[in-house]
Structure 1
Amino acid sequence: MVPVRTCVACRKRASRDDLLRVVSSGGQLVCDDRAVLHGRGAWVHLTARCLNQAVSREAFSRALRVSGKLDAGPIENRLKTLMDI
């Protein structure tokens, strides 16, 4: 059985392989490709639409139970890199 997770932006359920795990580290959102970093994780589709929606709704802060705004720069850079390939 394949593990299923829910995207924090669109709330659609998908295979863990189709989503990106994101954790908070030092006030920044960090990609956790191998899903091994410590702490709570939030899952999001690796699309500009879902990423922008999650950032604008502050879904990452809620899902990760972090107060304040998180820097989404590292994830946005990652998305741009993947779209250029």
Structure 2
Amino acid sequence: MAMQAVLDGVGIAVAQLPYVSDALKSGRLVAPFHATGKKYESWYLAYRPARAHDPALAEFRTWLLAEADAQRRTYRDWL
């Protein structure tokens, strides 16, 4: 609801970049100043040991890592 209020022009918000990046790129939202906080968390891909050599899992892992890298490159100026 907070993001909708901001998009409607009736408020401000602190948001996570992935949730507002499209609106920032399109100009529907503006960042009044460059300030970001960094979370020092890790994400893990968990799967059953029996699937360790599954080609579909390997392909998904490759895709997921590529997407994460693309996000880092796209938003490196914001981070």
TM-score above 0.5: no
Larger Cα-atom Rg = 2
Larger strand fraction of residues: 1
- The answer to which structure, 1 or 2, has the higher relative contact order (CA under 8 A, 6+ apart) is 1
Larger helix fraction of residues: 2
TM-score (norm: length of structure 2): 0.30
